Structure 1
Amino acid sequence: MKKIFENTQIAFALKSNNQLQLSYFLFKVMNSKLLVQLGTKILLLTLKLHLPVQNIIRKTIFSQFCGGVNEEDCLKVVDTLFTKEVSSVLDYAVEGKINEEEFDIAFVKTLKIIEFAKERQAIPFAVFKPTSFGRISLYEKITAKKILRDAEQEEWNRVVNRFDLVCQAAHQKDVPVLIDAEESWMQTAVDSLVLEMMRKYNTEKVIVYNTLQMYRYDRMEYLKKINQEAKQGAFYIGIKLVRGAYMEKENERAEENNYPSPICASKSETDENYNTALQYITENLEFFSLFAGTHNEISTYYLMELMQKKNIVANDFRIWFGQLYGMSDTISFNLAANGYNVAKYIPFGPVKEVIPYLIRRAQENTAVAGQTSRELEMIKKERSRRKQE
């Protein structure tokens, strides 16, 4: 397999020298766990004290990882990316909401994104996070198979209705919808609900995608199980594969509550689990559509090799590669330049409301071994190349 991810000229073609310098600075900070911890505390304190720092945040970390404050604000980014054949997935990144009014706002936002996507080739998917449609404790209680009180059952019915109306709109407008994953102690409730949506709306093609976090060692077993159900029930399966975003929380909760951690024992086991899932899905592509969300070059090359061996064309509509906006441009833009389907996840929302997402993004970058170092290495390489021009 030809190595394509070293081409920084393609990767950073859309970045000015100043933008490249800002990216270098931000990843340099994120390369230090101490600086991320200190920066997080300072950021939260300034917001708590209502200090006028939102404009600084918007021009720095927000501009690196977010597309704008609303859908329209993102269109410039969407259109610019698409000049290089990189598509976009608009992600309303407001997190941690707890009441019905906030859930309804997220629901309406998701419907609007579907409408946006219908009108724009550059936005091939919609997306939402399950806990933006309902309380965390409710998902948790259902996952634990506890009996709901009457009021809780009514509340859950509203959650189900939001899921159904979004998936129905996606089906009617022919816009696939990616449903993000949650922590393991609430994910079973999500899995059951998403599977119900697949049975209902994936009868002709994949519209609804579930997300599997492959740092969970039980996800391959689950993948095979739902494949058998799809064969018997005559529906198609949409799967977004990621490694996972809540490892520290998962391990800490398992230790505190004295149960075995659901997370693979090592990163190498997670990598193997992820690649095994890639192989399984490509071997059963008549039943699946895949959104491979990964910043890992080895897994990306592996999927490219699987496609090549199975004579799957680069732009087969059933296989997409995805990375987060502001990261892994060497993967995204070089894949697109070689004809593969690629989409960037573009978070958006009011600056203050998106702060929890940005903090989590910085912490995840710091936690993933080699991630920020690789980003810095590629930025340095491009800066050096430009100086020699």
Structure 2
Amino acid sequence: MERAAILKLKARYFNPKNLQVTFSSKRDNELRLAHWMFRMMGKPAWAKAGGLATRWALRLGLPIQPLIRNTVYKHFCGGETAQEAQQVIAKLRASRVHTVLDYAAGSQKTEAGFDAVKEEILHNIQLARDTAAFSYISLKLTGIGHKAIFRKMQEAGVLLQEEKQALARTEARLDAICKAVAEAGLTLYVDAEESWLQDPIDAMVERMMLRYNHQRAVVFNTLQMYRTDRLAYLQDCLERFKKEPVIPGFKIVRGAYLAKEQLRAKELGYPSPVFTSKSDTDHSYNQAIDICLENLDRIELCAATHNEFSTCYLARRIRKECTKQQRQRVHFAQLYGMSDNLTFNLADAGYHVSKYLPYGKVATAVPYLLRRAEENTAITGQMGREIQLLEQEMQRRKH
């Protein structure tokens, strides 16, 4: 179903506990596979050992790719190519769920690698234009530009001439992607990176917003709300953009690099840039929702979260307070293979919701999959909730 058709659906009461809607597209064997995987992921020691073993097996060329492809890869990825992912996209679309197509290439290190990622993204934009099957593209700037240059800029270092030229090529790649996205009527979500890379990335994304976000939010920047400075950054953005003819796009997430951020801060002896307690992160996230809702007349919001409270809180406020025009400016998103009770029940209730759908070769997607496993074993209660819902559905189907 096209975006315009979905938006005509009036937002209704959202019930994340409706199992029939949650699992309507899942076969019994898919439920059993998901149950097994989440049980494994729910054991941090097993998940860590499995990740280490997987990395070594791939480096040694051991024949484990078929096992990965038929288990964790199948559950969390759309396929090895964008064309292969079309089957999953069509399945999601049948449930009124949009797709954010995410090329799981990871960070690149060479100019050839950066150019290859850019060409793949441009190919996906053309595919979206040709098929009208999906409307959203995800991009990591470390996929099209050097991490070391972003880090040097963050530290206020002076770039060498060749580094300045490399940075210009990075921005040109991003501009080409944003231009193609704008012309195709699509939306680009630029992912957040580690805190020691983020400032120059924020600045580059803001320049793209000023260039392309005139009639709508073509480009979204991602804010990791576990960072202690993101509320201030959000408010500063809103103030700086107030007099600009631009509609900023903000995607808010809780954050993906918690342990890495805390460890680096401890090792280098600087204050941790992330909250130490989950409750502080939750409060920051929900405050960001409030700020964005107060400014819906001039921004667009994507709330990318697996947190049920935040999702219910935002859905309730949309239903009670937002006009039809304002509702069109709010999006929800979850990862493919996770929190289906949120995604499919949001769609069923008439809200605008997407799944982040990664795709790529098994070997190159493994780092993405392992990061997903490590993140979710660290989220209090996440695995338990997934397992509980699956067990309830399997029990329900027996009767």
Q: Which SS does the other structure have where 1:42 is aligned?
A: helix
Q: How much does 1:309 deviate? A: 3.2
TM-score, length basis structure 2:
0.95
Partners of 2:147 and 2:275 in 1: CA distance: 24
What is the alpha-carbon distance in structure 1 between the residues aligned to residue 130 and residue 343 of structure 2?
23
- Deviating beyond 6 angstroms after TM superposition, the runs of 4 or more aligned structure 1 residues are none
Q: Shift of the alpha carbon at 1:315?
A: 8.9
Query: What residue is the counterpart of 2:367 in the other structure?
Result: 356
Distance across 2 between alignment mates of 1:279 and 1:305: 12
- Secondary structure at 1:212 match in 2: strand
- Structure 1 equivalent of residue 9 of structure 2: none
How far apart are the structure 1 equivalents of 2:197 and 2:216? 28
Kindly state the Cα deviation for residue 119 of structure 1 after the two structures are TM-superposed.
3.5
Q: Tell me the alpha carbon deviations over residues 336-385 of structure 1, each in whole angstroms, 9 at most, x when there is no partner.
A: 00001111000000001111001111111111110010000000000001
Specify the SS of the correspondent of 2:356. Answer: strand
Cα offset for 1:265?
A: 2.7
**Unmatched runs of 5 consecutive residues or more in structure 2:** 1-11
Residue 122 to residue 317, structure 1, CA distance change in 2 (3 Å): farther
How many residue pairs get aligned? The number is 388
Q: Map of 1:254-293 to 2, 5 A cutoff?
A: 254-293=265-304
CA drift of 1:37 comes to 1.2
Aligned-partner Cα distance in 2 for 1:96–1:284: 34
Q: Distance in 1 between matches of 2:133 and 2:314?
A: 23
Please tell me whether residue 5 in structure 1 is matched to residue 16 in structure 2: yes
- Aligned twin of 2:41: 30
- Of 251, 258, 268, which aligns to 1:247? 258
Q: CA deviation at 1:126?
A: 1.2
Retained in 2: the 8 A contact 1:206–1:237? yes
- SS in structure 2 at match of 1:241: strand
1:150-229 to structure 2, matched below 5 A, reads: 150-229=161-240
Q: Where does the alignment leave 5 or more consecutive residues of structure 1 unmatched?
A: none
Aligned position for 1:92:
103
Query: Offset at 1:120?
Result: 4.1
* Partner Cα distance (1:302, 1:109) in 2: 37
Q: In structure 1, give the amino acid aligned to 2:296.
A: L
- Letter in structure 2 aligned against 1:300: T
Could you report, residue by residue, the CA deviation over 1:133-175 in whole angstroms, capped at 9, with x for unpaired residues?
1111111111112110011111101001011111111111111
2:346 aligned residue: 335
Point out the more displaced range, 21-30 or 256-265. 256-265
CA distance in 1, matches of 2:32, 2:323: 39
Q: Distance in 1 between matches of 2:291 and 2:166?
A: 37
CA distance in 1, matches of 2:161, 2:54: 41
**TM-score normalised by structure 1 residue count:** 0.97
Give how far 1:204 is off: 1.9
Q: Which of 39, 45, 48 is matched with 2:50 structurally?
A: 39
Deviations 1:200-219 (A, max 9, x none): 11122110100000001111
Q: How far apart, CA to CA, are the structure 1 residues paired with 2:310 and 2:127? A: 31
Alignment partners' CA distance in 2, 1:3 and 1:102: 43
Task: Name the CA distance, whole Å, in 2 between partners of 1:363 and 1:122.
Answer: 31
